[in-house]
Amino acid sequence: MSTDQEELKFVENRAAHLLSRPITVGGLTLPNRVAMAPMTRGFSPGGVPGADVAAYYARRAAGGTGLVITEGAYVGHPSAGQHDLVSRMYGDDALAGWARVTGAVHDAGGRIFAQLQHVGMARAAGDPPHPEAPAIGPSGQPLEGTRTGHAMTQADIDAVLSAFAEAARDAERAGFDGVELHGAHGYLIDQFLWSGTNHRTDRYGGGVRARARFAAEAVAAVRARVAPGFPVVVRVSQWKQSDYTARLADTPEEFGVILGELVDAGADAFHASTRRYWQPAFDGAELNLAGWAKKLTGKPAITVGSVGLDTEFTASLAGDTAGRTGIDGLLDRLEADEFDVVAVGRSLLADPDWTAKILGGRDDDVIPFTPAALGVLG
């Protein structure tokens, strides 16, 4: 094929036209609009990512994905985690492992953000990596069940904020291009944001603005410890792991209050997690959650949720195979400037070259997702 024919094919490929555009987040320019969604895989024994993890992420970057977002890495607080195979962002051994990961992704031409996580009340008694640590949360209130935990004191809050800040600093030193604070799915930051788990009567509880204080302080603490222009993204969601009908905000106005506090604290972008990207976030408008995040703040927004697949992730976890679908509806929304970046999860697990194939107009060559992809780090 001649160069002119290749250029014509590119112009005729709507996906390439829309998804290949660079975008700037904070002080970083991403090469295209496709991100690898953060997915907890549990392939880091002792919390240390090895050569296989580096190869796994680098393979997606080599396949054309512009931004890789890691699985949630535990910050350096004893109650932050709940598994000894999930990565951590503290300790010389783990940070050396992450440096190899970032180097591999950069060598493959990609950019990489570290997702930083504290699970809060999602933790059960005796969970590793620190089985002696209690489960903590804004009110010691679990997302489900009757077990209770430790309601955080101001000293606890200060310690966790410091842990997020130090993890972000260490991530930057390990070569990451940005960080994402996991404020979704019912983990600690989300537990403060959501009225279902935040029953505090001090300055961290009550109305929407007060419930956003902890998240805003986490963003501000991170912002103060990293270089100017180093991107700080916040992931948010309505749904929780234990309650798919939960709502962080009942109206766009409430959502705007939360996001406004985070923007004022230094957030550069928002990653709005939904199970189906095409569903409206609020009654009366077609915008999805990422669309509202962008409309309300003017900041770049990342959308996610069953991109290119006909079933959501819960079905895949139950062992169902997901069929492929077109992405014309996604491209319509991207073309309308509803959001800026598209995060892809299961499709990139099944096919590391998904991005290159979509951008190259080779949709029919995409390897379909099967549950077997969940059990390997390929």
Hey, what domains does the chain have and what are their CATH numbers? 3-375 (3.20.20.70)
With contact defined as beta carbons under 8 Å apart, do 374 and 317 qualify?
yes
CA torsion sign for 145, 148, 154, 157 is negative
- The reported pLDDT for the residue numbered 110 is 98
CA distance 307 to 329: 10
| From 57, 74, 187, 277, the catalytic residue | 187
Structure tokens at 45: 């024994």
Structure tokens at 55: 């190869």
Is residue 57 among the annotated active site residues?
no
For the chain, the helix, strand and coil percentages under 3-state DSSP, each to the nearest 5: 40, 15, 45
Structure tokens at 99: 């440096």
Beta bridge partners of 178: 113
CA distance 143 to 138: 12
Residue spans of beta strands (DSSP E) within 218-287 = 232-237, 269-273
- What are the Cα distances from residue 152, in Å, to 139, 216, 276? 7, 17, 34
> Residues 80-117: pLDDT tens digits?
999 999 999 999 999 999 999 999 999 999 999 999 99
Residue 373 per-residue DSSP state:
G
Instruction: Single out the residue of 224, 312, 241, 234 nearest to residue 267, CA to CA.
Output: 234
- The reported pLDDT for the residue numbered 373 is 84
CA 266 to the chain's CA centroid: 17
- The reported pLDDT for the residue numbered 101 is 98
CA distance 117 to 39: 12
- The reported pLDDT for the residue numbered 5 is 46
- The reported pLDDT for the residue numbered 1 is 46
Return the number of other C-beta atoms located less than 10 Å from residue 324's C-beta.
17
CA distance 153 to 48: 30
Q: Which residues of the chain have pLDDT under 50?
A: 1, 4-8, 10-11
CA distance 112 to 114: 7
Q: Where are the alpha helices (DSSP H) in the chain?
A: 3-12, 14-19, 51-62, 92-107, 154-173, 188-193, 208-211, 213-225, 252-265, 289-297, 313-317, 328-335, 346-350, 354-359
Residue 300 per-residue DSSP state:
-
